[in-house]
Amino acid sequence: MAKQLASAWTVVLLVSALTACSGTKEEENSQTALKPQEDNKPVELTAYLSGYTQERFMTTFGDFIQKKYPNVTFKVLGGNKEKVPDLVAAGVKLDLIQSTAPELIIDNGLQDDLTDLIQKYNYDLNKLEPAVLDLIKLIGDGNIYGFPNGVATVALFYNKTLFNKFGVSYPTSGMTWDQVFELANRLTRNEGGVQYQGFVDYTSYIANANQMSQGYVDPKTGKATLNNDNWRKFMDNFIRFYTIPGNSYIPAAGDINNAFQKEQRIVMYAGQFGAAAMTGLTNAGVDWGVVSLPEFAGYPGVGPGAQVPLFYVGKTSANRDWAFKAAAYLGSEEFQKESATKVGAVPAMRNRAEVMATYAKEVPTIPVDKKAQDAVPKTFAKPYAITPYDSLARNAFLAAYTAAAKGEKDVNTALREAEEKANTAIEAAKKK
């Protein structure tokens, strides 16, 4: 395991700032104009997506690909909790694998440099958001292993009914955390026997996408980086919300969902921005709103980080060209514009703002008047390095955050102990 953990992907960018970049003549060539092979006989691609059923895959991705390439069908794995290492060991030839974790691909020997096919089919890499392209190249140490089907981010959601009930103006994009703290103070109250909470957070989401670009482990030393000023500022910023009388910390995501959707006693929360989350709120009967994640003190104009899911072409693919064309189409402007409009996915394209103009217009559970596209940050946080040991340090951090938010430990003690525990776990992992 130690050798695997020391593989080439040890340091990759989790997120990267979205920066402007001048156009090139190459951009004029449509990256979706991938000429199909002369042989258009039926071909079945085996795709792995954790947690996806065949139906969900087809609705989200497969139907779009088949519209482009009618001869392609799919067999989807991952919905029954199948694991990639087990599938590889069993000799299953995976054509496509979607993941946000490069180690899943590299540690299982599934990485395949697609440079030759990019040239063969004239895929225009310049159509991608430059920061996303940098990430892809870093994962492959200069090689291209896959294509992004979009990006994920976080935002501030709120219950309009409760704001109206308490006579408080709605939050707006561009607010600071200090302003949200003031709102939370005004909104937290016990009324009619119901304890209303002004604000709560989905900690894992906001920590991973922290606006200070603070990572969990130093890639050079392999040591945890938890006991430092950045994480201290992060914890101080959010834990103050839980010092408001009646606004207790809720560590479990399911409990937050229940309190915001069913009980409707949480007024605001910071969590993942996406079609699934917004559809869930609408279906629960919540009159919701969403704005961009508030700005962190000292980081004006900086949004949260972005996580980039990639569709990798498996090295074991028996249909390499067709797997490439399917993945490349998902990483195209054509698909991502349609996906943004019909599914509510956030595009990973260079012209993201233009594509977002029609965001969710055909998603009935995300009404146009919600103006959800305004919640997507104009500028993502700068990159931070990730390592094979991040999950160990992250778990220690989340435990420390919970202890501090509940008032069981002070922030300094919680972070110091978390770093010690993380380093112990990392050393144990290196010996396996």
Q: Which regions of 160-212 does DSSP assign to beta strands (E)?
A: 189-191, 194-196, 200-201
Query: Would residue 358 count as lying in a domain?
Result: no
Work out the pLDDT band at 353, boundaries 50, 70, 90. Answer: confident
Count other Cβ atoms within 10 Å, centred on residue 166: 15
Rounded CA gap, 140 and 427, in Å? 26
Two tokens, residue 230: 């950045």
- Give how far the C-alpha of residue 128 lies from the chain's centroid of Cα atoms, to the nearest Å: 17
Does residue 413 sit in the same domain as residue 276?
yes
51 pLDDT above the threshold of 60: yes
Q: Same domain, yes or no, for 132 and 161?
A: no
Same structural domain, 80 and 131? yes
pLDDT in tens, 122-133: 999 999 987 788
Residue 120 in this model has a pLDDT that exceeds 70: yes
Structural contact between residues 243 and 233, judged by C-beta atoms closer than 8 angstroms = no
> Which helix (H) or strand (E) is 397 found in, with range?
helix 390-405
Question: Which of 142-146, 285-289, 352-356 has the weakest average pLDDT?
Answer: 352-356
Q: What is the mean pLDDT of residues 344-372?
A: 90
Give the residue ranges of DSSP H helices in 188-284: 203-208, 229-239, 253-257, 275-283
The upper half-sphere exposure of residue 11, i.e. CA atoms within 13 Å in the direction of its Cβ, equals 10
pLDDT category, 427, cuts 50, 70, 90?
Answer: very high
| The pLDDT value given to residue 357 | 87
- Among 150, 100, 167, smallest CA distance to 336 is for 150
Bridge partners for 266 per DSSP:
197
Instruction: State residue 4's pLDDT score.
Output: 42
Written as six digits, the tokens of 127 are 């159509």
- Whether 8 shows a pLDDT value over 90: the answer reads no
Whether residue 283 sits in one domain with residue 226: yes
Using pLDDT thresholds of 50, 70 and 90, give the confidence band for residue 99: very high
9 and 113 part of one domain: yes
69: in domain = yes
CA distances from 248 to 177, 188, 256 (A): 18, 10, 11
Q: Is residue 368 in some structural domain?
A: no
Give the residue with greater pLDDT, 181 vs 34.
181
Q: What's the rounded Cα separation, in Å, for the pair 236 and 411?
A: 7
For the chain, state the CA radius of gyration: 22
Read off the pLDDT band of 387 (50, 70, 90).
confident
Q: Are 138 and 38 in the same domain?
A: yes
Least reliable range by pLDDT among 140-144, 146-150, 160-164:
140-144
Place of tokens 């490069």: 102
- Name the token pair of 12: 């990759």
Residue 24's pLDDT is: 40
pLDDT for position 39: 64
What's the chain's average pLDDT? Answer: 90
> What pLDDT band is residue 385 in, cutting at 50, 70 and 90?
confident
Per-residue pLDDT, averaged over 186-209, amounts to 97
Query: Which residues does 154 contact at the CB level (< 8 Å), separation at least 6?
Result: 202, 205, 206, 209, 270, 271, 272, 273, 293, 304
* Mean pLDDT in residue range 399-426: 98
- Residue among 204, 205, 248, 276 nearest 60 (CA): 276
35 pLDDT higher than 60: no
Whether 119 is covered by a domain: the verdict is yes
Judge whether 292 and 155 are in contact, CB under 8 Å.
yes
**Phi, psi for residue 325 in degrees, rounded to 5:** -65, -35
Residues 297 and 325 in one domain: no
- For the chain, report the end-to-end CA distance as a whole number of angstroms: 6
Q: Which of 32-41, 147-156, 415-424 has the lowest mean pLDDT?
A: 32-41
Residue 11 lies in a domain: yes
Cα gap 205→156, rounded to integer Å? 12
Domain span at 62: 2-152+306-350
Q: What pLDDT score was predicted for residue 288?
A: 98
* 65 assigned to some structural domain: yes
Mean pLDDT value of segment 103-125: 95
Q: Specify whether 264 is located in the same domain as 396.
A: yes
Highest mean pLDDT among 26-35, 304-313, 411-420: 411-420
Q: How confident is the model at residue 354 (pLDDT cuts 50, 70, 90)?
A: confident
Per-residue model confidence as pLDDT tens digits over 336-347: 999 999 999 999
Unique residue bearing structure tokens 């200070």: 212
Neighbours of 162 (CB within 10 A): 21
pLDDT beyond 60 at 5: no
Please state, as a whole number, how many other Cβ atoms lie within 10 Å of the Cβ of residue 230. Answer: 15
166 lies in the same domain as 242: yes
pLDDT band at 9; cut points 50, 70, 90: very low
273 and 422 belong to one structural domain:
yes
Q: What is the number of domains present in the chain?
A: 2
The whole-number average pLDDT for the span 293-301 is 95
Whether residues 289 and 269 share a domain: the answer is yes
**Confidence check: pLDDT of 10 > 60:** no
Q: Can you tell me whether residue 157 is helix, strand or coil?
A: strand
Is there a single domain that holds both residue 293 and residue 264? yes
Q: What is the CATH number of the domain that holds 100?
A: 3.40.190.10
| 371 occurs within a structural domain | no
